[in-house]
A = this chain, B = another copy of it.
């Protein structure tokens, strides 16, 4: 039987990824001791890997495909296929950024001021390439974590660190002087596996359902009854995410209208629908929108 070797990210994305797969249709049960979580699909063999190491194993073919951050694929300079982006819904709704930060009261204002300074980061290679391109000579050392604190402690002059809301950066009193890159979660595949039609279709189907589940996260179903004379008027104000489904009601000059809309706008839409004469409005949750 064909089987796809799939890498799932360990750490902060682990639970969100398992929840996303469940919504997409796969039950993953974490296995405590070894690192092969069980999945209820014999065509898949899962491994849990550090995001930092994922692209290495996808590149070498140990894994056929994997979910990881764009940042770590770049750090490893891995040659892999990008299947697509997976934008997990977050409260902050801000992108993940790698930034260069210095102490709030530092004299360092520009990239050029970093000439000859010491910089600590977990993203050593990307940082080295960045400064080499700019022809700025910087002493870059690998950080084992708690990177921001080293600026506060005076141990280094600057850090290159990942941030979403800047809250940790600000809590340490640091000042951002440059944005190095943005990153997000990605679905990547091995070059050779991508040439195999069975594997490629399996990867594309998984990606379609993961996308469908992500899309459904803040989208709801809306259903209402509308009389014939108001039908056109009301359908006009429905947002065109998908065309609405309209059915003639039995023995009546009324229609059932059903559509999907973003949860963000439903609170403005419902009062308008009501005002224009829609009746029996109900809203219901969705699992997937393809």
Contacts and interface: CB of A to CB of B under 8 A. Distances in A.
Interface of A: 10, 24-27, 29, 33-36, 38, 40-41, 47-50, 52-53, 56-57, 62, 91-93, 141, 143-146, 149-150, 152-155, 171-173, 204-206, 208-209, 212, 216, 220-221, 223, 225, 242-243, 245-251, 255-256, 258, 260, 263-264, 266-268, 270-271, 274, 279-290
12 contacts: A27-B91, A33-B171, A36-B152, A41-B267, A53-B144, A205-B267, A212-B281, A220-B287, A221-B282, A221-B284, A223-B245, A225-B243
Contact of A10 (B34, B146, B223): B146
A152 B287 contact: no
For chain A, what secondary structure do more than half of its interface residues adopt (helix, strand, loop), or is it mixed? mixed
A155 B62 contact: yes
Given A40-B264, A245-B249, A282 B271 contact: no
Contact of A290 (B35, B260, B268, B282): B282
Copies in the complex: 6
Contacts of A206: 267
A83 to B, nearest CB: 14
Contact of A250 (B153, B172, B248, B267): B248
Given A35-B146, A153-B35, A209-B267, A242 B280 contact: yes
A270 B283 contact: no
A267 B57 contact: no
